[in-house]
Structure formats: structure tokens, C-alpha cells
């Protein structure tokens, strides 16, 4: 079904220019996706803006994104290998694998929560697909995650005396699922914030709850049995367990881990998209 269109009224001498109601134009999923794709330059510029602003004015500039993960390795090694003396080999790397994936998700969720509300002035001045704003915050955090991983993983292979596992070929698939999950959550939270500004505070509490129900700082194998089966299906567990399987154990993720990651990833993307599409229209009036 195309956007409502009529010929210019009265068949008089007016040459036929097709008139459309722009406010109702492009309401369907396919059209919306196409219009988001048409605005990819805006998404790219918004991501580039955030990346530039992050280090602008600092002397080391972009090198900070290399220094940060290395400093984290040093700090976690000091904390877990020398102070706590955790016996599990390579424990700092174990933690960092989960923590980086977690940071990607939680920073994206927090930034996206306020993205539409903060973009209010822009939305009142120019017409563009609103979804661009939460999407750009997610992609900015994805880029950061990939940059950090690109520094950390080689260090880990060397320190761990481990060749890059063959399972590394699965890595992009897991990242895509986590991206789908994060986009879904971002759309959900960004839209909800246009109704209730309280959402941000709920998100902060919710994130810390989610953090401790995800096996990031503890190995899932140390969790007693009934709880262990439950925790696999905590929203972020599938992704974190998959990263740990690929890079820490050098194996393909187990079926249950795949199932959890795929269900949450695709499910959340569907829920977030549906929620956003059904509430998108009034966003310009509400922010």
C-alpha cells in the first residue's frame, strides 16, 4: 500500500502534479528501512562526530583508544593475578572478554536512552528518519568495541601463548546478534524516554542487575546447578558466553549459548522495531 496520494483537486486546468501527505508518507517497514538507508551519510557523520569529539583537544588523541585496553589488561592483571591470586589461568583476559562486550551494550543503551530527547531541536527543524539518532549511538559504541577488541585480542593471543582460534570465524556472527539485541533495546528505551523521563533511572538500575546476572566477572561453571541453567538465558549471557567460548576456550559456542544469543538478539530487534514504528509518529510533538 503506497502513501495516500491524490491528484491535485478539481480537474480544471491545473497540470497534474501528484500531491502527497508527507506526514503519512513512508509508514511501512520497507519504506522506513529504505529511508534510513538513504540517510546513511547522516548516521556515518553522527558516529564520526562522537568519535572525533571523544579525543579532540587531548594530546594523545586517537592513541587513547589503544592505550585504554592495554591499561585495562595491566590493571586487571594486578588485581586478579597478583592481589587476589585467582588460580584460573588468564583470568584478566577472561574478565575483559565479557567486560568489553558488556561495555558496548551498556554504554549504547544509556546513550540511546536520551538520544531522541536530546535530538528534539533537530527533529523540530528538519525532517529525517528519527531512528537515525538511536542507531547512530549504537554504531558509535560498536565501533569503539571493535577498536578495543582489535587491540586487546592480539595481546591476549601473545600473553596466553595461544594461536588465534579457528572459531574466530564465528566472531562476526556473534557481534551481529549482539548488535541486533542492542539496536532493539536502544529503540525501545529511546522511545520510552519520550513518554517518561524516569526511564533513564530505571535503565541505570536495570543495567547493574543485568551485569550481575551475566557471567562476566565469574565463570558460569562455578554457579550451582539450578541457577546455572537459568543464567544462560539472562539477556546478555548468550553473547558473553559465546565470546568466552571462542577466545578463552578456543571452541565453538554450545547449542544453548547459540539459542540464547539468537533468541535475545532477533527477538529484541523485532520487539524494539515494532515498538518504535508504532509510536514513532508523535515523537516530534513529544520531545
Partner 1 sequence: MTSVLINAEAVSKCFYLRHNRTNDLKVRFLAVFHQRHREVVEEFWALREVSLTVRRGEAVGIVGANGSGKSTLLRLIAGLYLPTSGRVLVAARARIGAMIELGVGFHPELTGEENVYLNASVYGLNRPQIDALYPRILDYSGLAHFMDTPLKSYSTGMQLRLGFAVAASLDPDILLLDEIFAVGDAAFQRRCADTLAEFRERGKTILFVSHAAAAVQAVCDRVCVLDHGRLCFDGPVESGLALYDRLIR
Closest CB to partner 1 among residues 198, 204 = 198
Contacts with partner 1 by CB under 8 A lie at 5-6, 8-9, 12-23, 25, 38-42, 44-46, 49, 52-53, 56-57, 121-128, 196-198, 281-282, 284-285
Least CB distance to partner 1 at residue 127 (A): 5
Give the nearest distance from C-beta 14 to partner 1 in angstroms. Answer: 6
Strand partners, 1: none
* Cβ 182 to partner 1 shortest distance, Å: 23
Q: How far is the CB of 103 from partner 1 (least distance, A)?
A: 24
Q: Decide if 140 contacts 43 (C-beta within 8 A).
A: no
State the minimum distance, in angstroms, from the CB of residue 206 to partner 1.
19
By beta-carbon proximity to partner 1, the closer residue of 115 and 244 is 115
Question: What residues contact residue 125 under an 8 Å CB cut-off, 6+ apart?
Answer: none
- Whether 127 contacts 180, CB under 8 Å: no
Q: Which is nearer to partner 1, 124 or 229 (CB)?
A: 124
Q: SS3 sequence, 22-59?
A: HHHCCCCHHHHHHHHHHCHHHHHHHHHHHHHHHHCCCC
Cell of 284: 516530534
Nearer to partner 1, 143 or 173 (CB): 143
CB 121 within 8 A of CB 268: no
Question: Which residue has 527533529 as its cell numbers?
Answer: 123
Calculate the CA 249 to chain-centre distance. 25
Distances (CA, A) of 244 to 160, 182, 249, 286: 14, 19, 7, 42
User: Using CA atoms, how far apart are residues 216 and 63, in angstroms rounded to an integer?
Assistant: 27
Compute the least distance from the CB of residue 148 to partner 1, in Å: 23
Our CB check for partner 1 shows the closer of 50 and 88 to be: 50
Q: Which is nearer to partner 1, 115 or 214 (CB)?
A: 115
Q: Which three cell numbers stand for residue 73?
A: 589488561
Amino acid at each position: 500500500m503506497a502513501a495516500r496520494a491524490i491528484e491535485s483537486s478539481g480537474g480544471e486546468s491545473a497540470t497534474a502534479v501528484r500531491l502527497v501527505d508527507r506526514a503519512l508518507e513512508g509508514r511501512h517497514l520497507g519504506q522506513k528501512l529504505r529511508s534510513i538507508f538513504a540517510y546513511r551519510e547522516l548516521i556515518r557523520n553522527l558516529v564520526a562526530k562522537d568519535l572525533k569529539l571523544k579525543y579532540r583537544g587531548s594530546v594523545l588523541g586517537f592513541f587513547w583508544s589503544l592505550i585504554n585496553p592495554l591499561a585495562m589488561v595491566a590493571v586487571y592483571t594486578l588485581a586478579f593475578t597478583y592481589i587476589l591470586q585467582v588460580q584460573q589461568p588468564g583470568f584478566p583476559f577472561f574478565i575483559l572478554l565479557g567486560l568489553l562486550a558488556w561495555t558496548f551494550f551498556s554504554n549504547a543503551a544509556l546513550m540511546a536512552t536520551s538520544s531522541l530527547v536530546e535530538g528534539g531541536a533537530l527533529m523540530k527543524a528538519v525532517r529525517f528518519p528519527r531512528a537515525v539518532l538511536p542507531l547512530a549511538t549504537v554504531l558509535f559504541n560498536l565501533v569503539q568495541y571493535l577498536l578495543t577488541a582489535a587491540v586487546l585480542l592480539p595481546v591476549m593471543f601473545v600473553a596466553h601463548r595461544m594461536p588465534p582460534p579457528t572459531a574466530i570465524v564465528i566472531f562476526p556472527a556473534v557481534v551481529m546478534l549482539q548488535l541486533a539485541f542492542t539496536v532493539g533495546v536502544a529503540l525501545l528505551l529511546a522511545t520510552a524516554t519520550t513518554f517518561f523521563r524516569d526511564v533513564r533511572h530505571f535503565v541505570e538500575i536495570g543495567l547493574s542487575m543485568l551485569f550481575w546476572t551475566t557471567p562476566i566477572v565469574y565463570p558460569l561453571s562455578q554457579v550451582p546447578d539450578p541457577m546455572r541453567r537459568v543464567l544462560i538465558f539472562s539477556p546478555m549471557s548468550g553473547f558473553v558466553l559465546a565470546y568466552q567460548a571462542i577466545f578463552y576456550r578456543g571452541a565453538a559456542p554450545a547449542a544453548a549459548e547459540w539459542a540464547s544469543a539468537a533468541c535475545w538478539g532477533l527477538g529484541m530487534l523485532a520487539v524494539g522495531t515494532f515498538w518504535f514504528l508504532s509510536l514513532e509518529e508523535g515523537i516530534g510533538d513529544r520531545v
